[in-house]
């Protein structure tokens, strides 16, 4: 059961590259050009008749200042006003996409970046931002495609190459991961997470000598640290070398490094030692009470043991600390379904979907809940959506082992 096996990523050491083609000056010049042309033709609607060039400049400047200072409500208001005035340029859509991405509205961000790409397909920054939005929504195939488009336009873009490789890694596309990561090794030779993914990919491809050499470099780069032992433990766990995984994870857990007990729990659960697994997951929650994955694992074990009410107690307590955890809400919806409480199940699953609309399992469980409640039409819609999402973004084994690392994208989009 791999989909529970994941997640300690830190932000990548590379930083987002600003899209120089989408600067404020370029946006403003395009806007003023558009208005002047419309006025000269006498065809401008409200823009030409009701707004002067100074008004347009004021909106564009206010939007840019607000975006730069993190006043996203103000930025959104000004950029949206420009759209209403008939201003439709890639730079405007891209900046509005950045606003949506930084405020967690990923579906809207994807719409804006997609429109920007349609208008300016040859701008690397637009493709990069679109990839980042897909990545943060865990739509890794689409993210990899957008990062590939970025690299076609800007072959030296380190962030696009890094995250493209990570997408392939998470989708079990190890040959593609290796070919994407290898050019980074020279410049990023001290990045232990990169070496972890590359070494594990080599191992999955049975390229054992290269895998060993990469892990050796990782050890030299990372030093004798708990984080390094955690990465090695995860790598060995992915490669099925359970004894080595246990050794490395135990060393990491001795320093109480976050996620070490979690992965020990994963190891125990994988070999059927549920009682030991539960001990480790509960230990993880003591170290980090906000660790939703560990809380979810405890609940999952109790559901496996046919104790849904105990699972519900764990999940409700966890949600009390983590109101916006789609994973806890998704499992809670399934637990409510086991105690025949379809009304609560539907309510929490809807919340999970609102937070993570591209997670097929939430749509599937909501479909089941609708069926049990006799709401067949709504059930059909959700089950069809679940099937579509499953075919669009299948979860690979390494996605399961590495979900804790996905916040590495860190970047919120370039302006």
Instruction: Give the pair of three-digit tokens for residue 373.
Output: 């409640």
- Distance from C-alpha of 142 to C-alpha of 83, rounded to nearest angstrom: 27
Report the pLDDT value the prediction gives residue 395, as an integer from 0 to 100.
Answer: 58
Q: What is the pTM of this model?
A: 0.71
Report the pLDDT value the prediction gives residue 182, as an integer from 0 to 100.
Answer: 96
Report the pLDDT value the prediction gives residue 160, as an integer from 0 to 100.
Answer: 96
Mean pLDDT to the nearest integer, 80-108: 87
Report the pLDDT value the prediction gives residue 181, as an integer from 0 to 100.
Answer: 97
Report the pLDDT value the prediction gives residue 14, as an integer from 0 to 100.
Answer: 36
Report the pLDDT value the prediction gives residue 278, as an integer from 0 to 100.
Answer: 92
Report the pLDDT value the prediction gives residue 143, as an integer from 0 to 100.
Answer: 96
Instruction: Look at 19-23, 191-195, 409-413 and tell me which has the smallest mean pLDDT.
Output: 19-23
Instruction: Give the pair of three-digit tokens for residue 126.
Output: 């637009």
| Digit-coded pLDDT (tens) for 369-380 | 999 999 999 999
CB 75 within 8 A of CB 66: yes
- Distance from C-alpha of 2 to C-alpha of 19, rounded to nearest angstrom: 38
| Digit-coded pLDDT (tens) for 38-63 | 444 444 444 444 555 677 778 778 87
Burial 27-48 (b: 16+ CB within 10 A, else e): bbebbbebbeebbeeeebeebb
pLDDT higher than 50, residue 210: yes
Report the pLDDT value the prediction gives residue 408, as an integer from 0 to 100.
Answer: 45
| Digit-coded pLDDT (tens) for 391-407 | 765 556 555 555 555 44
State the greatest distance between any 2 C-alpha atoms of the chain, in Å, as a whole number: 77
pLDDT higher than 60, residue 154: yes
- Distance from C-alpha of 120 to C-alpha of 342, rounded to nearest angstrom: 47
Q: Residue 67: which pLDDT band, with cuts at 50, 70 and 90?
A: confident
Residues 6+ apart with CB under 8 A from 153: 122, 123, 124, 127
CB 257 within 8 A of CB 238: no
Domains observed in the chain = 20-121 (1.25.40.10)
Q: Residue 24: which pLDDT band, with cuts at 50, 70 and 90?
A: very low
Instruction: Give the pair of three-digit tokens for residue 148.
Output: 């590939």
| Digit-coded pLDDT (tens) for 212-248 | 999 999 888 877 888 889 988 988 998 889 999 999 9
The gap between the terminal CA atoms of the chain, to the nearest Å, is 40
CB 7 within 8 A of CB 325: no
């Amino acid at each position: 059961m791999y989909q529970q096996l994941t997640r300690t990523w830190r932000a990548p050491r590379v930083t987002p590259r600003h899209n120089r083609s989408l600067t404020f000056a370029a946006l403003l010049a395009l806007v003023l050009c558009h208005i002047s042309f419309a006025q000269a033709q006498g065809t401008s609607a409200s823009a030409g008749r009701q707004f002067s060039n100074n008004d347009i400049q004021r909106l564009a400047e206010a939007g840019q200042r607000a975006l730069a200072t993190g006043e996203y409500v103000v930025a959104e208001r000004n950029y949206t006003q420009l759209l209403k005035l008939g201003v439709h340029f890639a730079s405007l859509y891209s900046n509005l996409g950045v606003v949506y991405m930084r405020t967690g509205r990923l579906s809207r961000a994807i719409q804006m970046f997609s429109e920007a790409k349609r208008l300016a397909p040859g701008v690397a920054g637009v493709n990069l931002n679109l990839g980042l939005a897909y990545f943060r929504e865990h739509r890794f195939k689409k993210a990899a495609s957008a990062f590939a488009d970025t690299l076609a336009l800007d072959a030296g873009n380190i962030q696009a190459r890094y995250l493209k490789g990570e997408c392939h890694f998470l989708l079990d596309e190890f040959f593609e991961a290796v070919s994407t990561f290898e050019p980074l090794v020279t410049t990023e030779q001290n990045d232990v997470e990169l070496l972890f993914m590359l070494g594990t990919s080599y191992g999955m491809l049975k390229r054992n000598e290269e895998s060993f050499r990469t892990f050796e470099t990782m050890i030299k780069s990372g030093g004798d640290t708990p984080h390094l032992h955690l990465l090695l433990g995860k790598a060995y766990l992915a490669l099925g070398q359970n004894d080595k995984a246990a050794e490395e994870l135990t060393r990491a857990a001795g320093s109480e490094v976050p996620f070490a007990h979690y992965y020990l729990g994963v190891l125990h659960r994988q070999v059927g030692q549920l009682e030991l697994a539960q001990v480790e997951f509960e230990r993880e929650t003591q170290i980090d009470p906000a660790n939703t994955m560990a809380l979810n694992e405890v609940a999952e074990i109790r559901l496996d043991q046919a104790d849904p009410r105990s699972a519900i107690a764990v999940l409700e307590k966890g949600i009390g600390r983590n109101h916006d955890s789609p994973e806890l809400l998704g499992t809670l919806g399934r637990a409510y379904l086991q105690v025949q409480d379809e009304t609560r199940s539907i309510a929490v699953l809807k919340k999970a979907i609102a937070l993570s609309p591209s997670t097929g399992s939430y749509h599937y469980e909501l479909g089941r809940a609708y069926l049990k409640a006799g709401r067949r039409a709504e059930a059909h819609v959700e089950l069809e959506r679940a099937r579509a999402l499953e075919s669009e973004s299948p979860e690979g084994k390494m996605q399961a082992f590495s979900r804790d690392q996905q916040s590495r994208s860190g970047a919120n989009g370039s302006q």
